[in-house]
Chains A and B, each alone.
Chain A
Amino acid sequence: MKKFAWFLTLLLALSVVLSACGTPAATQAPAPVATEAPAQPTEAPAVTEAPAATQASAAEPFKVAVVMPSAKNDLAFSQSMYDALLRVQEEMGADQFQFVFSENMFVVDDAAAAIRDYASQGYNLIIAHGSQYGSSLQEIAPDFPKTSFAWGTTVDTFGQPNIFAYEAASQEGGFVNGAMAATLSKSNVIGVVGPIETGDAKLYVDGFKAGVLSVKPDAKVNVNYIGSFSDTALAAEAANTHISAGADVLTGTAQMVVGAIGKAKDSNVLWFGTQSNQTSLAPSIVVASQVYHWEGILKEMIALIQSGTLGGKSFKADLANGGEVIEFNPDSNVAADAQALAETTIKGITDGTITITLP
């Protein structure tokens, strides 16, 4: 009994010591810079040069915190933002630009806590990279008028002076992918594997379908939403189903498509990717990927923030401004044929001659 009383006192003493040692959150040194060299091959981004960030405060590094709903190496949505931040850091230099991240924040409530925490630590820009975080931002942003927040993918800034919104016109790249898919398909059956029929995924899939039908109006585009962002096995089986139904070209969106890509590889079926460059996963069959290059938007935001505008603007990444780039697989033998068509389609979209009608 006495022994346990000792344990108890020790525990209490320990807790007192710990809390005494703790420094208040505000004066904490900023978290370490993410200096990991990217393990994944970074394609030379074909971005149009965004306005160089005016170094208004050249002495202090610009600090960014990003909250993402999935893994930073998911080869899809979250990775696109993570890669973009790495590229910005490369350009601006690690001493001028630092960022920290919280990944796998699929619990909306935890993400809200993270955003609030980062805000109270004095980061210049906090990126809430997920459409489900909007509600949280609406509440938190007014409490931190000196911090800038960015929310994607959406157009809504809630009328707040310190919220930026950004989205990708994924239907554009989808359309281009679809057009290419239609020309490359010999069976005229094309399959799509999607997560849930909403948001960015829906935009891409709708655009893709329109693109296919614009080239071959009686091609069959079979769409399968598997109901989850993480069920890799089901995505793979969905791909199998498409292939059994005669598809010889596939596409899909969100991180579970790695399963589908694997199946496509096994059956020698062509793949078009989106969100991130998916060539590395299956160099034999990936034709091209629509890659989100958020760097342009990021640099614009940084410039605005450094000149005093903390929000109120919404950005769109599309083919015209280099926010979306169709990156081809250099090793694919069909890529060359498709490239010409892609270029004309992209031109058509950017100069307005092609309009994408969504359902």
Chain B
Amino acid sequence: MKKVFQSDWVSRLIDGLLPVFATLAALALGAVMLLFLKVNPIEAYKALWQGAFGSTNAFAETLVKATPLLLIGIGICISFRGDVINIGGEGQMIIGAIFATWVGLTFTSLPGWLVITLAMIAGFLGGAVWGGIPGFLKAYFNVNEILSTVMMNAIAVQLMNFLLRGPLIDPSQAQLASKIPQTARLSEVFRLPRLAPTRLHLGALIAVVLAILVYILLWRTTLGYRIRAVGQNAQASRYAGIKVPRYIVMALLLSGAFAGLAGAIQVYGVNYRMITDGSASGFTGSAGFNGIVAALFGQLHPIWSIPAAILFGALLVGANSMQRMMQVPSALVTALNGLVVVFVVSSEIWRRRRQQRRLAIIIHDEGSAPPTNKEKLEHMETVP
């Protein structure tokens, strides 16, 4: 039995590293593209590594990039386990940021720590509303969440444009003819403390703590259990007495809330104001989509999402650095990003095959009957 246990542990570790191997495979394909662009791939990838991990500052940048990915990722863990697809992260992040910024601009006389706390709560609430609406529409009106979240994303951008060039505009900008659509800068005391001289801010720590809390939520609370139950089998849950619509709403609401918090932390930890260029990704950096990928890299598990977010953040930061160093078109970085996602997502099959093989070995060792479907399910559901 001991022997099985040890190899089981290493085997699981390798499973966890499969995304890394897949990333390397994608980068290998990227090397071919680089060669076509007459760029030395070795130099390029060295630059990528340097940009992500090469110095304390680089690593800090990686963590800063990873923070919104992690926050959105843990939200995605909740929604996907509730069998709800939330691609509204972009919009939820924006709305959360707007709520949070508003707090900082309105309650200027309150002490710093209080404003930050209120702002975080406001961001959480803003995202919850923006995620809760699609949840409500799905649960009670059968409006598919892919449709509603895609629409809500676009609506959020226009709302942001409207507010930032109107009611929330920086008073100093309002005087000028050019009117840059940005809010006033948050006062010094309202900003999340940083680990100088890098840009690493407290938000990163908050994200990690929340990841742990979400793990506890999903596997140690009734709410989490019910969300997962509805996600596994809505019919059965209904028969078991769980009010399915309510938990569909909760799944999207919570998922949106974390995205909203990501937006709030982005404003209070990095930008110190909200500014728009008319697109969602100008503010979010596509964290709403990349966060989904990060969650998947982490097998939809909040704790594993932490290294997954760091890895993905490293990739994004490193690739941008590579772009600068080698002066390759940024389009290459986007294409590379896509390749990595496809490869990692495709590597899932090996993880599952290996898991099945492990299960078969265990059963074989124990000399008992082949596992029933229920047992297979339970084994797969076991928290590492």
**Per the CB under 8 Å rule, do A and B touch in the complex?**
yes
Q: Is A295 an interface residue (CB 8 A)?
A: no
Contact with B along A1-45 (1 / 0, CB 8 A): 100110110010001001101101100100110100000000000
Q: Is B355 an interface residue (CB 8 A)?
A: no
Q: List residues of chain B with CB within 8 A of the CB of A134.
A: 180, 182, 275
Q: Is B177 an interface residue (CB 8 A)?
A: yes
Main secondary structure of the interface of B (DSSP, over half): helix
Among B158, B172, B323, find the residue whose CB has the most chain A CB atoms closer than 10 A: B323
Q: Is B151 an interface residue (CB 8 A)?
A: no
Q: Does B165 contact A196, Cβ atoms closer than 8 Å?
A: yes
Decide yes or no: A132 and B185 within 8 Å by CB, A4-B14, A227-B278 being known contacts. no
Among A195, A206, A227, find the residue whose CB has the most chain B CB atoms closer than 10 A: A227
Q: Is A52 an interface residue (CB 8 A)?
A: no
Q: Does A109 contact B46, Cβ atoms closer than 8 Å?
A: no
CB distance from A63 to the nearest CB of B (A): 13
Q: Is B273 an interface residue (CB 8 A)?
A: yes
Q: List residues of chain B with CB within 8 A of the CB of A104.
A: 330-331
Q: Is A337 an interface residue (CB 8 A)?
A: no
Contact-size category for B: 35 or more
Q: List residues of chain A with CB within 8 A of the CB of B58.
A: 25
Q: Does B49 contact A18, Cβ atoms closer than 8 Å?
A: yes
Q: List residues of chain A with CB within 8 A of the CB of B273.
A: 135
Q: Does B325 contact A153, Cβ atoms closer than 8 Å?
A: no
Q: Does A106 contact B197, Cβ atoms closer than 8 Å?
A: no
The chain A residue with its CB closest to the CB of B7 is A1
CB distance from A35 to the nearest CB of B (A): 11
Q: Does B277 contact A114, Cβ atoms closer than 8 Å?
A: no
Decide yes or no: A114 and B161 within 8 Å by CB, A19-B53, A202-B177 being known contacts. no
Q: Does A31 contact B326, Cβ atoms closer than 8 Å?
A: yes
Q: Is A100 an interface residue (CB 8 A)?
A: yes
Q: Is A199 an interface residue (CB 8 A)?
A: yes
Q: Is B176 an interface residue (CB 8 A)?
A: yes
Decide yes or no: A132 and B180 within 8 Å by CB, A106-B281, A108-B275 being known contacts. yes
Q: Is B55 an interface residue (CB 8 A)?
A: yes
CB-CB contacts below 8 Å: B182-208 with A: 182, 185, 197
Q: Does A108 contact B327, Cβ atoms closer than 8 Å?
A: no
Q: What is the CA–CA distance of A227 and B273 in the complex, to the nearest angstrom?
A: 21
Q: Is B41 an interface residue (CB 8 A)?
A: no
Q: Does B178 contact A197, Cβ atoms closer than 8 Å?
A: no
Decide yes or no: A228 and B14 within 8 Å by CB, A31-B326, A103-B330, A198-B180 being known contacts. no
User: Given B21, B54, B286, which contacts A7 in the complex, CB threshold below 8 Å?
Assistant: B21
Q: What is the CA–CA distance of A176 and B252 in the complex, to the nearest angstrom?
A: 53
Q: Does B324 contact A114, Cβ atoms closer than 8 Å?
A: yes
The chain A residue with its CB closest to the CB of B181 is A198
Q: Does B10 contact A102, Cβ atoms closer than 8 Å?
A: no
The chain A residue with its CB closest to the CB of B285 is A107
Q: Does A155 contact B176, Cβ atoms closer than 8 Å?
A: yes
Q: Is A62 an interface residue (CB 8 A)?
A: no
Q: Does B180 contact A106, Cβ atoms closer than 8 Å?
A: no
Q: What is the CA–CA distance of A56 and B60 in the complex, to the nearest angstrom?
A: 38
Q: Is B317 an interface residue (CB 8 A)?
A: yes
Q: Does B181 contact A118, Cβ atoms closer than 8 Å?
A: no
Decide yes or no: A131 and B180 within 8 Å by CB, A19-B54, A227-B158 being known contacts. yes
Q: List residues of chain B with CB within 8 A of the CB of A7.
A: 14, 21
Q: Is B148 an interface residue (CB 8 A)?
A: no
8 sampled A-B residue pairs with Cβ under 8 A: A1-B7, A103-B330, A104-B331, A113-B317, A117-B51, A132-B182, A132-B276, A229-B277
Interface residues of A (CB under 8 A from B): 1, 4-5, 7-8, 11, 15, 18-19, 21-22, 24-25, 28, 31-32, 34, 69, 100-110, 112-114, 117-118, 120, 130-132, 134-136, 138-139, 143, 153-156, 167, 171, 195-200, 202-203, 206, 227-230, 358
